[in-house]
């Protein structure tokens, strides 16, 4: 007897929404090489740190409140994460739809990816849209399988975006409130050519990551800032912002170079050559006057379109 559709995806156990699969590159080898308790705890510390960057049980009260309202989940499994954000939640009901909520989550994922990269942890992933069914200790999700397969197909350290998810966002009725210039659908994705020649949409994470940087004031700057006039405060904030942007861009560059230098397999190294070109392309697009020392410079183009 065929199970009625409403029984399968009813609100008690099932939701429809975004599902992301994220692989921590190189961690499968680390997990398989565990021999001692110290080995285990070091891997656990790294995995939990990445899980935290993806907003698992965030410390910030406002972020924690939003996450509860949107019913977001961030699950960790040995060398990977699975993130789910439903299209229907208290937050989407209050917002009148899920368009802004889903794009806000994409920014959060891009920011987490940037934090991973600047800490020397490179990730690859896939994002799809559809059913997430959880009942007790059982999870069944076609988009989780699709996101896993997309992660493998993407092959470079980026997060692939499925055509199913892009189509859902493209046709979302809330999209109509945006001008073409401000529409996140036009700005958050990048169409790339992989080393294999295959075309793929990915999350354009580096500009999104840099766009979330505020600029932290030093103790000396805070002391001046407290008693400064409006113009001086603006100059202090602007200088701190530029300083942190450039520092994080240079750190992103250095982590790519460090990772690439440690790779002996030419097939794997090719993927980090690709990432180096993506870095340079993103720096050119983000900065009006890019700092010359921020570039890596390689011979193979990323093939962005």
Structural domain range at position 163: 12-186
pLDDT at 167 over 70: yes
Confidence of residue 215 (pLDDT cuts 50, 70, 90): confident
pLDDT, average across residues 76-103: 94
**b/e string for 7-40 if b means 16 or more Cβ within 10 A?**
eeeeeeebbbbbbbbbbbbebeebbeeeeeeeee
The domain boundary, picked from 146, 167, 186, lies at 186
User: Rounded to 5 degrees, what angle do the CA atoms 207, 78, 110 make?
Assistant: 10
pLDDT at 9 over 90: no
pLDDT at 299 over 60: no
Together in a domain, 152 and 98? yes
Together in a domain, 217 and 166? no
Give long-range contacts, CB 8 A cutoff, 24+ apart: 197-203.
Answer: 198/153, 199/305, 200/153, 200/154, 200/160, 201/160, 201/161, 201/163, 201/166, 202/154, 202/158, 202/159, 202/160, 202/161, 203/106, 203/109, 203/110, 203/113, 203/127, 203/158, 203/159, 203/161
Phi, psi of 179 (to 5 degrees): -75, 160
Confidence of residue 301 (pLDDT cuts 50, 70, 90): very low
Together in a domain, 180 and 222? no
Together in a domain, 155 and 37? yes
pLDDT, average across residues 29-34: 96
- Tell me the CATH number at 151: 3.30.70.1230
The pTM is what? 0.90
Mind listing the pLDDT tens digit for each residue in 132-150?
998 888 999 999 999 999 9
Mind listing the pLDDT tens digit for each residue in 121-132?
999 999 999 999
Mean pLDDT over the full length of the chain: 91
Residue 168 in any domain: the answer is yes
pLDDT, average across residues 221-231: 91
- Residues paired with 133 in a beta bridge: 14, 140
How many domains would you assign to the chain? 2
pLDDT at 250 over 90: yes
The domain boundary, picked from 168, 186, 204, lies at 186
């Amino acid at each position: 007897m065929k199970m009625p559709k409403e029984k399968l995806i009813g609100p008690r156990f099932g939701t429809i929404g975004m599902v992301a699969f994220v692989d921590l590159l190189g961690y499968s080898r680390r997990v398989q090489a565990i021999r001692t308790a110290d080995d285990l705890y070091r891997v656990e510390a790294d995995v939990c740190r990445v899980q935290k960057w993806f907003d698992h049980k965030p410390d910030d009260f406002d972020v924690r409140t939003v996450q509860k309202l949107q019913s977001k989940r961030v699950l960790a499994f040995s060398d990977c994460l699975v993130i789910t954000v439903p299209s229907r939640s208290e937050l989407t009901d209050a917002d009148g739809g899920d368009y802004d909520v889903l794009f806000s989550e994409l920014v959060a994922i891009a920011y987490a990816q940037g934090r991973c990269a600047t800490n020397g942890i490179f990730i690859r992933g896939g994002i799809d849209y559809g059913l997430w069914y959880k009942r007790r200790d059982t999870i069944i999700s076609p988009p989780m399988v699709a996101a896993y397969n997309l992660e493998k197909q993407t092959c470079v350290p980026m997060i692939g975006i499925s055509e199913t998810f892009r189509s859902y966002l493209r046709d979302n009725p809330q999209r109509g409130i945006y001008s073409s210039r401000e529409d996140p659908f036009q700005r958050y994705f990048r169409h790339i050519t992989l080393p294999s020649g295959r075309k793929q949409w990915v999350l354009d994470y580096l500009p999104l990551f840099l766009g979330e940087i505020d600029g932290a004031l030093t103790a000396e700057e805070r002391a001046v800032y407290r008693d400064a006039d409006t113009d001086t405060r603006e100059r202090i904030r602007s200088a701190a912002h530029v300083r942190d942007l450039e520092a994080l861009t240079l750190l992103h560059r250095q982590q790519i170079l460090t990772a690439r230098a440690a790779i002996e397999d030419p097939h794997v190294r090719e993927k980090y050559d690709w990432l180096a070109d993506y870095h340079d392309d993103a720096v050119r697009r983000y900065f009006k006057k890019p700092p010359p020392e921020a570039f890596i410079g390689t011979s193979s183009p990323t093939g962005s379109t």
